[in-house]
Amino acid sequence: MNIDRNLLRLLSEQKRPFILSGLAGAAGALMLVAQAWVLSGVIDTVFRSAPAWAAIAPPVGLFALFSTLRVLFGWAGHHEAKVGTLAIRNSLTERLSGTIAALGPSFARSAQSGRIVTTLLKGVESVDAWFSQYIPQLFLSLIVPVVILAAIFPADWLSGVILVVTAPLIPVFMILIGKRASAATEKQWNTMSRMSGHFLDMLQGLSTLKLFAQAKARRDGIAEASENFRHSTMQVLKIAFLSSLTLELVGTLGTAVVAVSIGVRMLGGHLAFRPGFFALLLVPDFYLTLRQLGTKFHAGMEGVTASKEIHEILDRASEIPEAGSRELTASDISSQPIVFEGVGYRFPGSGKPALDGVSLTIEPGTVTALTGPSGAGKSTLLNLLLRFIEPAEGAISLGSRKAREFSLDSWYQEIAWVPQHPFLFNATIRENLLMARRDATPDEIDTALKQAGLLDLVRSLPDRLETMIGEEGARLSGGEAQRLSLARAFLKDAPLLLLDEPTSHTDPILEAQLRKAMVELMRGRTVVMIAHRLETIRNADRIVVLDRGRVAQSGTHDELMTGEGFYREAIFSSMEEAAA
C-alpha cells in the first residue's frame, strides 16, 4: 500500500497537521451523510405531498448549511495536509542538503552529480506528493467508507452488505497492479537519474567532446537515454491507466448492483423510498473515495521510490565523523604545532592506501612544502588538514588536542585554501571575493586584488567588481581564475594557509610577482603547500617528500640535495629541462 517506514517516521514528526486533516475528513464525511439524509427527506416530502415552499425551506436551509460545512471541512483538511507537507519538505531538504554538505567533497566526487541533483529536487518533490496527496486520500479512504457504512446499514442493510462484499475488490486490484507498477516506477526513477547524470556529464565535457569529434556520438547517446526514459515513463502510465480503468469498472459495477437492488425492492414494496434513496445517494461517494485512492496510488509509488534514494544519502550520515565543540582560535594555530601521528587513509574501493603511517610535525609559523611523484598522497594529506576526510588510522593533533575536538566551523574559519583548480561561482567578482570574508571593506578588497595581481584587470572591466564571471569562471582565463582564488586567501588573512601549486597557471613574469606577494602573505603564518617548482620549494623551512603514501625524505633544500632520492633527481631533471 505504498507505506515506507522512513516516510512514516517523517510523518510522525508532523503529526498535528495530519491529525487535524483526518479529523476534518471525518467531519466532512458526517456532513456528506447529513446532506444525503436531508436531501432524501426533502425529495420524499415533495413527491408524497407537494408541500408549500415554507414547509421545505428549513430542510433546504439545512442542506445548504451542510454543503457549506462540507466544503469548508474539505478545504481545512487539504490546508492542514499542505501545512504538514511543507514543514516535512523544508525539514527534508535541509537535512538532505546538510548531509551532502557534511559528507563533503569526497562524497560529491564519488557520486554522480546529476543523480544527487535529481534526488535533491525531483526526489523531494515526489515525497511531497506522497504526503500532500496520497496520505490524506488514504485517511479519507479509511474514514469515509466506514462512516457511510455506519449510516447505510440502519437504513438498508442489504445495500450495506453489497458494499462490504464489493469494496475489498478495489484494494485487492490496487495491490495486484501495484506490485507491477512499483517495479516499473523504480525502473523509471533509475532511468531518470542516470539520464540526468549523463546530461550533466555531457554539458561539463562539451569542449572535450568537440575537440575529439565525439559530439554526434554523444548526441546519439543522449537520444537513446531520452528514449529509454520515455519508454519507462509510458510503461508507468500504461499501468496507471489500467489501474484507473479497473477501479472505475469495480466502482461502476458496485453502484449498478446497489441501484438495481434498491429499485427492485422499491417496486416490490419491500423498501421505503427515503432509506432507499438515502443509500443510493451515498453509494457513489463510497466508491469515489476508494477510486480516488487508486488515482493517488501512482503518486504514492513515486514517493516511496524517491524515499529510497533520499534515505540512501541520509543513512550515510553515520559516515560523517563527529566533530567536537571546542572553538579554534588564531592563537592556537600560531602557537602550537600540527602533528601527524601514524596517519593512514584508504579511499573506498581502493586496493592500496593513499597514506600509510605518515608521521610529521608542522611547526607554527613555518613553511612546509609537500612534493613527490603523482599519486604519492600529497592531495590526500592536504584534504586531511582541511578535514574533508578523517584519518582511518592514527590521528592529527594541534598541540595536545586532537583536531577532531575542534568544531568544523571554527576550523575552517582559521584556514585559507588555494586549490590547483579553484571553483568560481556564476556570480560577480565581488561576490566571489566576499565568500572569504563577508565584512571586507572596499579598501581591503582592492588590497587583496592588488596583492593577487588582479586590480588593474578588474579596473579595466566596464562593471569592475560587479562583472559576472560565468559558470566556473568561464569568462576568466586559467591564470585569472587562479589569481582570483589567491585574492580570496589574501582577503581572508587566516593563520593557516594551504596552497596547491598556486602559480601553476601563470606566466613567468606574473609568477615572479605573485611569489613576491606570497612571501609577504606567508610571513608569520603556518603554511603547507604542494609544489614542484624549485623556485617555490627551495625557500621552504621544511620539504617533505612523499612516495607511495609514506614520508620518503624530509629536510631543507640543502639537506635533501646532499643525499640521494626523488628530490635531488627531480631538481636535476627540472634544471636540465630548463637548460634545454
Count structural domains, the chain: 1
Q: How far is residue 526's CA from residue 74's CA, in Å, rounded to a whole number?
A: 65
Residue 129 domain-assigned?
Answer: yes
Q: How far is residue 287's CA from residue 329's CA, in Å, rounded to a whole number?
A: 67
Query: What's the count of helices (H) and strands (E) in the chain, helices before strands?
Result: 22, 10
User: Would you state the pLDDT for residue 69?
Assistant: 92
Q: How far is residue 273's CA from residue 258's CA, in Å, rounded to a whole number?
A: 14
Question: Pick from 40, 33, 77, 76: which is nearest to 56 by CA?
Answer: 40
Residue 71 domain-assigned?
Answer: yes
User: Would you state the pLDDT for residue 113?
Assistant: 65
Residue 426 domain-assigned?
Answer: no
User: Would you state the pLDDT for residue 450?
Assistant: 83
3-state SS class at 328: coil
Residues 297, 303, 308, CA angle at the centre, nearest 5°? 135
State the sign of the Cα–Cα–Cα–Cα dihedral 476, 479, 480, 485: positive
Bridge partner list, 416: 497
Residue 427 CB: number of other CB atoms within 10 A? 15
User: Would you state the pLDDT for residue 510?
Assistant: 67
- Left (φ > 0), alpha (ψ -120 to 50) or beta: where does 29 sit? alpha
DSSP state string for 410-463: HHHHTEEEE-SS----SSBHHHHHHTT-TT--HHHHHHHHHHTT-HHHHHHSTT
Residue 378 domain-assigned?
Answer: no
The domain in which residue 197 lies consists of 5-318
Residue 437 domain-assigned?
Answer: no
| Helix (H) / strand (E) containing 370 | strand 367-371
Residue with cell string 598541540: 399
Residue 408 to residues 293, 324, 389, 488: CA-CA distances in angstroms? 47, 8, 12, 19
Residue 355 CB: number of other CB atoms within 10 A? 27
Residue 521 domain-assigned?
Answer: no
Q: Which three cell numbers stand for residue 239?
A: 499501468
Tens digit of each residue's pLDDT, the chain (580 residues): 567 788 888 888 888 888 898 899 889 889 988 888 888 888 878 777 766 677 778 888 888 898 899 899 989 988 988 888 888 888 888 888 877 777 777 666 666 666 677 777 777 877 888 888 888 888 888 888 888 888 888 888 888 888 888 877 777 776 666 666 666 676 776 777 677 766 777 776 766 676 666 666 667 777 777 777 777 777 777 776 776 677 777 778 888 888 888 888 888 888 888 888 888 888 888 888 877 777 777 667 777 777 777 877 777 766 666 677 788 888 888 888 888 888 888 887 777 888 888 888 888 888 888 887 877 888 888 888 888 888 888 888 888 888 888 888 888 888 888 887 778 888 888 888 888 888 888 888 888 888 877 888 888 888 888 888 877 777 777 777 878 888 888 888 888 888 887 666 566 776 776 677 677 777 778 888 887 676 777 778 888 888 888 888 888 877 777 777 676 766 555 544 444 4
User: Would you state the pLDDT for residue 112?
Assistant: 64
Residue type, 228: N
Residue 460 domain-assigned?
Answer: no
User: Would you state the pLDDT for residue 190?
Assistant: 72
Residue 422 domain-assigned?
Answer: no
Rounded to the nearest 10 degrees, what angle do helices 508-522 and 478-492 cross at?
10
Tell me the CATH number at 295: 1.20.1560.10
Q: How far is residue 549's CA from residue 4's CA, in Å, rounded to a whole number?
A: 45
User: Would you state the pLDDT for residue 131?
Assistant: 84
